[in-house]
Amino acid sequence: MAGCRKFIGVNETHLKGVYKGVLFIAMGIDVENYCFLLAYAIVDVKNKENWFYFFNCLREHHRR
């Protein structure tokens, strides 16, 4: 993480087809402006509780 910029982008998209739900992602950018995945979660619905869970897991992982 030493060469990373201080940026975390988050987004979500609805899954269609056989697998239903919502995909949450968190991404970072390195010093050469390349994106890399930090975390992802697949949840059944987009709501405050699921976003809170996602951000809490991301924060707990960052503390390690």
Amino acid at the residue 33: N
Residue 1 included in any domain: no
Residue 2 included in any domain: no
Element (H, E) at 43: strand 35-43
Q: What's the token pair of residue 11?
A: 């987004």
Is pTM, for the whole model, over 0.75?
A: yes
Domain holding 40, by residue range, is 9-63
Question: pLDDT by residue (tens digit) across 24-38?
Answer: 999 988 888 889 899
User: Hey, how many other C-beta atoms are within 10 angstroms of the C-beta on 64?
Assistant: 4
Residue 47 included in any domain: yes
Percentage of the chain lying above the pLDDT 70 cut: 91
Length of the chain: 64
Q: What's the token pair of residue 50?
A: 């699921």
CB distance 28 to 10 below 8 Å: no
Tally of structural domains, the chain:
1
